[in-house]
Amino acid sequence: MTAPFVPNHRPTLPSRRDWRIGCVGAGFIMADCHLVAYRQAGFNPVAIASRTAETARAVAARHAIPTVHETVDALLADPVVEILDVAVPPADQPGLIRRAVEVGQGRLRGILAQKPLALSVADAENLVARCDEAGVVLAVNQNMRFDQSIRAAKDILNRGLLGEVVLATIDMRAVPHWMPWAEGLPSLSTFIMSIHHLDTFRYWLGTPDRVLASTRHDPRTEFPHRDGVNLYILEYAAGPRAASWDDVWAGPVKEGVEGDTRITWRVEGTDGLMQGTIGWPKYPAKVPSTLEYSCKATGGTWARPTWDEVWFPDAFVGTMAQLLVAVEQGAEPEIGGRDNVETVALCEAVFAAAAEHRVTTVREFLGPGR
């Protein structure tokens, strides 16, 4: 028997590494993920600004960024910046992107937005239109697509090794760290945590046709919220089903009880199956995600590729790389704003299905013509 192919888990890198990147935000995701990954890949962050200039200066010193702007607007107006990397709270992101497009017209080549691109489809579609009109490439940092096991799984699916997909599942038993800006948002878990898994299902299988969902509050989260522990099923007219248990409670593991925090996933097809784990719950320990697959192409035995990279921070090489490649090629990014509108619509469909106790469709939340 010939050895099974090794699925690709690495991103495509740009031919030019010196694109001049301006960074907005200096919190954890920028300081400990984006900038660590960019230095690792040889990318070129040249300027940074944050709500607090002192924080921006500290992050600039840590990552050898030459220019610190006292205000975000000053960075947006910086004539050196070609690529904008945004890491601000979701409620602030749409307004910032609109200002960036207006100020940077004719100079700014691309924007990497955080997920969620926006908290509503209407806002997300508006950002896509604004960037299109200005000739700015818009990409979204749906970084779970560049988790090594998730990306390798996509390669296996692309090659048809599992045959027709029957069922895909994600089982999360892990406790996120809700940032202070999460309080007061219209959605908690759906647009901040579940969006990772919803976008992964879209990445693997496409946009579903129908959604069933249920939610309850998270006992640990003290501020009021409408969606905490999320359970949902995605139906595809072509046959596949997908489901996730997004258990952000995971038992009283923060209250002195031993527990089992983890994220596992599984995809079953007519010709084989694959399953894996996500290493993120062990952060800051660098624990690689895992993948094993068994199908006709492997002779019915398990194949277990391995890698040294981890989701946080290594996946963030891929999210910036896919934008830079798109700018170089004049093409749509792997995770373009236009595509990501459907992830935002899927979040709205899950949120409505749970809140209104009904079956929803993604189409009802999309604008006309999609």
pLDDT value of residue 3: 57
Query: How many Cβ atoms sit within 10 Å of the Cβ of residue 164?
Result: 11
Residue 5 predicted with pLDDT over 90: no
Q: Which strands sit side by side in the sheet containing 44-49, from one edge to the other? A: 67-68, 44-49, 20-24, 83-86, 110-114, 137-141
Listed residue (124, 151, 67) closest to 334, CA to CA: 151
What CA–CA distance (Å, rounded) separates 243 from 193?
15
Q: Which residue type is seen at 66?
A: P
pLDDT tens-digit readout, 78-131: 999 999 999 999 999 999 999 999 999 999 999 999 999 999 999 999 999 999
Answer whether 34's CB lies under 8 Å from 22's CB: no
> Which residues have CB under 8 Å from 35's CB, separation 6+?
23, 45, 59, 62, 63, 65
pLDDT tens-digit readout, 315-360: 999 999 999 999 999 999 999 999 999 999 999 999 999 999 999 9
Residue 4 predicted with pLDDT over 70: no
DSSP string across 53-121: HHHHHHHHHHHT-SEE-SSHHHHHT-TT--EEEE-S-TTTHHHHHHHHHHHTTTT--EEEEESSS-SSH
Q: How confident is the model at residue 369 (pLDDT cuts 50, 70, 90)?
A: low
CATH code for the structural domain at 147-311+344-355: 3.30.360.10
Q: Name the CATH topology of 20-144+317-336.
A: Rossmann fold (3.40.50)
What CA–CA distance (Å, rounded) separates 308 from 334?
23
Helix, strand or coil, per DSSP, at residue 198: helix
> Which residues have CB under 8 Å from 331's CB, separation 6+?
325
Q: How confident is the model at residue 1 (pLDDT cuts 50, 70, 90)?
A: very low
pLDDT tens-digit readout, 111-126: 999 999 999 999 999 9
Q: Which residues pair with 167 in a beta bridge?
A: 241, 268
**Quick one: CA torsion of 77, 116, 50, 174, rounded to 10 degrees?**
-160
pLDDT tens-digit readout, 132-171: 999 999 999 999 999 999 999 999 999 999 999 999 999 9
Residue 275 predicted with pLDDT over 90: yes
Query: ∠ CA 218-224-226 to the nearest 5 degrees?
Result: 65
Q: How confident is the model at residue 278 (pLDDT cuts 50, 70, 90)?
A: very high
pLDDT value of residue 198: 98
Answer whether 173's CB lies under 8 Å from 249's CB: no
Helix, strand or coil, per DSSP, at residue 214: strand
> Rounded to the nearest 5°, which phi and psi values hold at 72?
-65, -40
Averaged pLDDT score across all residues of the chain: 96
* pTM exceeding the 0.95 threshold for the entire prediction: yes
Domain boundaries, the chain: 20-144+317-336, 147-311+344-355
pLDDT tens-digit readout, 13-54: 999 999 999 999 999 999 999 999 999 999 999 999 999 999
Answer whether 195's CB lies under 8 Å from 117's CB: no
What CA–CA distance (Å, rounded) separates 58 from 38?
17
Query: ∠ CA 202-204-210 to the nearest 5 degrees?
Result: 40
DSSP secondary structure letter of residue 186: S
pLDDT tens-digit readout, 191-208: 999 999 999 999 999 999
Query: How many Cβ atoms sit within 10 Å of the Cβ of residue 1?
Result: 8
Q: How confident is the model at residue 281 (pLDDT cuts 50, 70, 90)?
A: very high
Q: How confident is the model at residue 2 (pLDDT cuts 50, 70, 90)?
A: low
